[in-house]
Structure 1
Amino acid sequence: MTASTDFLVRRLRLRHLDLLVALAEAGTMRAAATRLNLSQPALSKMLVEVEDGFGARLFERTPQGVAANALGQAAVYRARVILGELERGREEVDALRAGASGVLRLGTLSVTASVPRAIAHLRQKVHGARVQVQEGRVRELVQRLLDGELDAVFGAITPELLASDLLPLLRPELLLADELCVVCADGHPLARRRTLAWADLSSQAWVAPPKDTLVRQALMTAFLNEGLQPPEPAVEVLSSVTVGSLLRLDPSLLAAVRLEHAQDELARGGMRRLPVAPVVPLPSLGLYTRRSAGAAPPLVRALGDALRRFGQPARGSRATAAAPGRTSARS
């Protein structure tokens, strides 16, 4: 520990970290004081103490209130991580006292076949392990990871994230390959065909996610690569659960989904995957962890091992990902 860091540790308390986050989120001294149950003079005094500890001005006054400058944004980010780690420590202690062997906080896609299997396998291998799952979009989950709210995120290792300014803060590990998958109900006219080309599907009624998703972009790429006009979906929906319900209720529809998503619906019956060529790859799936957190915790490593067990191994290395052209981080 350097002398300046030692000075900071001796001068600041956790309450000062709370203040940094409250000011950044509230945007005014009055709102932050109310949130922390402090008077404005007391809050102003604490802010002076924080800035003295860092040896720099962290917030600037604006007509609307206060705003963190570049130095303040860095301090606020680290304050969030520290407070998140403290909350994690409390949760782990409570869980261990209650008999758990550990707690894993996982962010993941909303529909995935591999994650439930991996969690079940993990709990068989690590007796008493507890898993807290948060579902959502990868970019939002990655931010929660960086804020210390999650231990790992399972999602697409996209070119966008690999090229973003977040990459130095992350440790992405490719685990599973993924690709575009076309599914239909058993009663669809094409359900019994053994081979299909994209041209055979150009006049069909489609269910597809919005245009800013990886799956929709891959679907458009599949048709464009064959010199065909991409179809406009008859139904545009993001939820894979809704897609499955629609196909079972209306057998005239085709749907574009991730292979990872399709496996869950296909296992329920009443649906099948169409054998369309050529195959269009999607960015591989993998685990994101925080680089600054050091080596991944044992439960995160065990989850990674379980995911490899239940999926198609990803192609390439930790620093590469397949993509069907320009993509976004939304899955």
Structure 2
Amino acid sequence: MTERPDYLVRRLRLRHLELLVALAEAGTMRAASGRLHLSQPALSKMLGELEAGFGARLFERSAQGLSPNALGQAVTYRARVMLGELAHGKDEVDALRNGADGVLRIGTLSVTAAVPQAVVRLREHMPAARVQIHEGRVRDMIQRLLDGELDCVFGAITPEVLTSDLLSLLKPELLLEDELCVLCAAGHVLARTRKLRWADVHALPWVAPPRDTLVRQALMTAFLNHGLEPPEPAIEVLSSVSVGTVLRLDSTLLAAVRFEHARDELARGEVRRLAVTPGVALPSLGLYTRRTEQAPAPLVQAFAQALRKVGVRPGRAGRHGPSASP
């Protein structure tokens, strides 16, 4: 018979939660024993206590080791979240002791003009807030959010996420539209051209991210829609810093970037946005939080409000904004 939740709360210790995560990641008692610095008999006893408490087998045993079954995966996910929240709780208490308003852990794509502006706006109203910005691929950031390592993630609201099993664990809020942008150096031969079609830029050398990115796929779609073979980039790079650098050093190149990246590069100067039509939309950008019964923490709510304030639509800051000026 499954134990009542309050009985589980009284019986389970943090070591039980750590054991769940260690076994799921290590796959053997021996490896988990080394990670937790406990004997294998002690771990076997703790696993027995866990499975007795939940009234079900959580791991399948085989000659290769242990692997979590469906129940074990669900419990391990919750264990990761609780351990992450405890770690965050300690960081927040330490910050509060030192006079901060709290700690906000944000995951975001590597280039965004909205996040820095929103963070500055947040600190204008909460100057003692401490903010940690973690950059990377959005799908990796979302996993860290679900594991309790992050408080929110700013990134593309993609069909992949909206149709996946993860959606039941996430609460996405659409905030900004996004689209494909073409950038060039201020000295590029096309920099002052008012109207361009995709055929006009087809034969030129491109800087673009890898094929598995939304931006590259949008660029390929732009050419395919007009019966053109997508060009192979002269330079394929994911780093936003490298994209901006090579554009400024080589005035023959064009770069395919998302709108948020374009905003950032235009603000730095020495680049222009080309008005290539028709435009190609990218999945809108938004804020992901974990789906819980409780409202998001005050810092997360304040950050979301700041994002709504600084959000700029492509039509307002694109072709007719900084890129159109000499």
Unaligned runs of 5+ in 1: 316-331
CA deviation after TM superposition for structure 1 residue 45, in Å: 0.9
Query: Which has the larger displacement, 143-152 or 25-34?
Result: 25-34
- Tell me which amino acid in the other structure corresponds to 2:171: R
Which digits, 9 at most, give the CA deviation of each residue in 1:262-287, with x for residues without a partner?
Answer: 11111111110001111111111010
- Partners of 1:175 and 1:314 within 8 A in 2: no
Give the aligned partner of residue 22 of structure 1: 22
Give the aligned partner of residue 73 of structure 1: 73
- Tell me which amino acid in the other structure corresponds to 2:12: L
Cα distance in 2 for residues equivalent to 1:205 and 1:31: 50
- Partners of 1:183 and 1:273 within 8 A in 2: yes
CA deviation after TM superposition for structure 1 residue 215, in Å: 0.3
- Tell me which amino acid in the other structure corresponds to 1:273: R
Cα distance in 2 for residues equivalent to 1:271 and 1:314: 17
Q: Secondary structure at the match of 1:100?
A: coil
Cα distance in 2 for residues equivalent to 1:314 and 1:287: 18
Give the aligned partner of residue 292 of structure 2: 292
CA deviation after TM superposition for structure 1 residue 313, in Å: 5.3
Cα distance in 1 for residues equivalent to 2:279 and 2:210: 21
Q: Secondary structure at the match of 1:166?
A: helix
Q: Secondary structure at the match of 1:292?
A: coil
- Tell whether 2:167 aligns with 1:157: no
- Partners of 2:259 and 2:314 within 8 A in 1: no
Q: Secondary structure at the match of 1:216?
A: helix
- Partners of 1:174 and 1:284 within 8 A in 2: yes
- Partners of 2:3 and 2:55 within 8 A in 1: no
1:239-258 → structure 2 map (5 Å cutoff): 239-258=239-258
Give the aligned partner of residue 170 of structure 2: 170
Identity of aligned residues (%): 71
Q: Secondary structure at the match of 1:273?
A: strand
Greater length-normalized contact order (CA 8 Å, ≥ 6 residues apart):
1
1:1-331 → structure 2 map (5 Å cutoff): 4-292=4-292, 294-312=294-312
Superposed structure 1 runs of 4+ greater than 6 Å apart: none
CA deviation after TM superposition for structure 1 residue 3, in Å: 6.8
Q: Secondary structure at the match of 2:279?
A: coil
Cα distance in 1 for residues equivalent to 2:62 and 2:3: 34
Query: Which has the larger displacement, 64-73 or 164-173?
Result: 64-73
Unaligned runs of 5+ in 2: 316-326
Which digits, 9 at most, give the CA deviation of each residue in 1:151-206, with x for residues without a partner?
Answer: 00000000111011100100000011111000000111101101111111111111
Normalised by the length of structure 2, the TM-score is 0.93
Cα distance in 2 for residues equivalent to 1:248 and 1:314: 23
Which digits, 9 at most, give the CA deviation of each residue in 1:307-328, with x for residues without a partner?
Answer: 122222599xxxxxxxxxxxxx
- Partners of 1:285 and 1:314 within 8 A in 2: no
Cα distance in 2 for residues equivalent to 1:250 and 1:293: 52
- Partners of 1:33 and 1:40 within 8 A in 2: yes
- Partners of 2:174 and 2:284 within 8 A in 1: yes
- Tell me which amino acid in the other structure corresponds to 1:175: L
Q: Secondary structure at the match of 1:107?
A: strand
- Partners of 1:118 and 1:306 within 8 A in 2: yes
Q: Secondary structure at the match of 1:61?
A: strand
Q: Secondary structure at the match of 1:190?
A: coil
- Tell me which amino acid in the other structure corresponds to 1:187: G
Q: Number of residues paired by the alignment?
A: 314
- Partners of 1:174 and 1:314 within 8 A in 2: no
1:3–1:37 distance in 2 versus 1, CA, 3 Å: closer
Q: Secondary structure at the match of 2:292?
A: helix
Cα distance in 2 for residues equivalent to 1:312 and 1:226: 29
- Tell me which amino acid in the other structure corresponds to 1:87: A
- Partners of 2:141 and 2:153 within 8 A in 1: yes
Cα distance in 2 for residues equivalent to 1:190 and 1:226: 20
Q: Secondary structure at the match of 1:212?
A: coil
- Partners of 1:207 and 1:254 within 8 A in 2: yes
- Tell me which amino acid in the other structure corresponds to 1:284: S
Cα distance in 1 for residues equivalent to 2:307 and 2:196: 31
- Tell me which amino acid in the other structure corresponds to 1:39: S
Q: Secondary structure at the match of 1:89?
A: helix
